[in-house]
Amino acid sequence: MTLSLKSRRFRAEREADWLRLDALLKKLEAGRHRQLSDDDVIALPVLYRATLSSLSMARSISLDQSMIAYLESLCTRAYFFVYGSRTTVGERIAAFFRRDWWQAVQSLWRETLVSGALGLLGTVTAYLITMRDPAWYFAFKPRALAEGREPRASTAELAKTLFSSHQSGLSFFASFLFTHNAQIALFAFALGFACCLPTAFLLFYNGLMLGAFLALFVSHGLGVAAGGWLLIHGITELFAITLAGAAGFRIGWTLCFPGRHSRTAALAEAGRVAATVMAGVVIMLAVAGLLEGFGRQLITLTPARYGMAAATALVWGVYFYRRRRQP
């Protein structure tokens, strides 16, 4: 039997299913899904599998390439309707904010507590040491990040750094994404796989710098003003760092202790949760950049800065941790 004859017989026996599947796909691709009957909806996956079987058989007996190409195209089109996503990009973004992000953050509540505790421990440690001996300031705060805020500066010079700026809001925002704290957040997550140790160190070290900063201004009688200057964007920024550390801890802990599941399966699940949290962390860092670049420059009254800080804390707290009715 010639190849041409085999191809004709093969097509004649199965072409009716191919044509019906093609007709259904054309309706779906044209957005006329309401025209499909219940029988059409039930038949779609059956026709897809039958066509997939035809493609496999056509390849195995080496039928003509035009038929194989047609079946490949038909199967590819059908796959996206049978197994593909049923949601649009807009719906996925809405679902992220409506459900995915806060659920992922809530699932990391233990890691978040550990992450926050390490940052707080570093802050208290550096604060107490620096208050006792200001010479320790640069042991915790790199000179490159001091920007004129150092123990030798006068009270007037330090106050000037809190209430004046020579940069525009846009330049602050553009440079913020590359600042030390943004890098700390990203590295705290990325290095979590190393048994959590680098993440713990980075969170503690970030707390040390914060504690030294607070001690410097408190020693000059500017503690309240410095708190407002810091917290107007720091609530969002520091919480983002804490969540990034929590995501890193989840990866590292799962790698070391996968539990009842295989290490691969456990890491896959942990990775999905951590990736969702980190997508939100990037958003929070951008919001902190806007608050630092614009809010802190426009709001110069210390009470107003504390009010803005309290508002951001309330927004994040309610969004992430308020009780919701489970579906």
Which residues are within 8 A (CB) of 310 and not within 5 positions of it... i.e. 6 or more apart?
A: none
- Asked whether 234 and 184 are in contact (CB, 8 A), the reply is no
E strands within the chain?
A: none
Average per-residue pLDDT for the chain: 86
Q: Which region, left, alpha or beta, applies to residue 2 given φ > 0 means left and ψ of -120 to 50 means alpha?
A: beta
Structure tokens at 248: 């890193």
pLDDT value for 294: 79
Whole-angstrom distance between the N-terminal and C-terminal Cα of the chain? 62
Distance CA(38)–CA(186), nearest Å, equals 49
Least confident of 177-186, 244-253, 256-265, 281-290: 177-186
Residue 173 has pLDDT above 60, yes or no: no
Which residues are within 8 A (CB) of 261 and not within 5 positions of it... i.e. 6 or more apart?
A: 269
pTM of the predicted model over 0.85: no
What is the dihedral angle through the alpha carbons of 127, 167, 177, 148, rounded to the nearest 10 degrees? Answer: -30
Least confident of 40-49, 130-139, 168-177, 205-214: 168-177
Q: What's the rounded mean pLDDT across residues 267-276?
A: 93
Per residue in 294-327, pLDDT (tens digit) is 777 788 899 999 999 999 999 999 999 998 876 5
Half-sphere exposure of 200 (CA within 13 A, CB side): 11
The DSSP secondary-structure symbol of 216 reads H
Q: What percent of the chain has pLDDT over 70?
A: 90
- If pLDDT is split at 50, 70 and 90, which confidence band does 273 have? very high
One-letter amino acid at 285 equals: L
Closest Cα partner for 86 from 46, 21, 28? Answer: 28
The DSSP secondary-structure symbol of 35 reads G
Distance CA(194)–CA(220), nearest Å, equals 40
Q: What's the rounded mean pLDDT across residues 230-257?
A: 94
pLDDT value for 174: 43
Q: What's the rounded mean pLDDT across residues 26-43?
A: 83
Residue 124 has pLDDT above 90, yes or no: yes
Residue 27 has pLDDT above 70, yes or no: yes
Per residue in 60-95, pLDDT (tens digit) is 776 678 888 888 889 988 888 887 666 667 888 999
